[in-house]
Amino acid sequence: MSSLLLLCLMVCGGIAVATQPSINGRLAQKTGVLESSCISFTVGALALLAVVLLSGRNGLRGIADASWWELTGGLLGAFFVTMTIIVVPRIGTTAAMAAVIASQLVTGLILDHYGFLGFRHIPIDARRVFGVLLLLAGASLVFRR
């Protein structure tokens, strides 16, 4: 895949991540916070299951070879979705996403630097730190005081 296509996919992912908490928050007004999170994950899991089954790749067999910690992504996703359902109605989507992006950047910098989870090692350097600091400064500007 080209870098441009990958960038476009991530932009679409960003739009989805920014929109999802508001949708889930509206659902939570009707069902409750945990219920909304559960419904969100159930709908997503069913959609993904359909895609997996229709793709014919049968990659689900590989789950037997996965380590326990490789299965925690769903728990982390459930935690994230539930936290956004709680936070977005109180501080707004922009502030919540700014906090998410800021924490993702700092965490990503650390994960890259140490090559954590077996991914490529990308050392921390002054340019990357400066870029993250600029983004953190921008994120701090969107918080209401």
The per-residue pLDDT for range 47-100, each reduced to its tens digit, is 999 998 898 887 788 888 988 988 898 999 999 999 999 999 998 888 898 889
Report the domain count for the chain.
2
Nearest to 97 by CA among 17, 6, 9: 17
- Predicted confidence (pLDDT) at residue 144 exceeds the cutoff of 80: no
Distance CA 105, CA 37 (A): 25
- Same domain assignment for residues 45 and 80: yes
**The pLDDT of residue 9:** 92
pTM of the model: 0.81
Residue 44: pLDDT band (50, 70, 90) is very high
Q: Within a domain: residue 5?
A: no
**The pLDDT of residue 145:** 59
Q: Within a domain: residue 128?
A: yes
- Over residues 12-38, mean pLDDT: 93
Distance CA 63, CA 105 (A): 29
Q: What is the amino acid identity at position 12?
A: C
Q: Within a domain: residue 8?
A: no
- Over residues 94-113, mean pLDDT: 91
Q: Within a domain: residue 19?
A: no
Q: Which domain holds residue 37?
A: 24-54+72-91
- Predicted confidence (pLDDT) at residue 133 exceeds the cutoff of 70: yes
- Same domain assignment for residues 33 and 77: yes
Quote the mean pLDDT of the chain: 90
Distance CA 28, CA 41 (A): 13
- Same domain assignment for residues 135 and 86: no
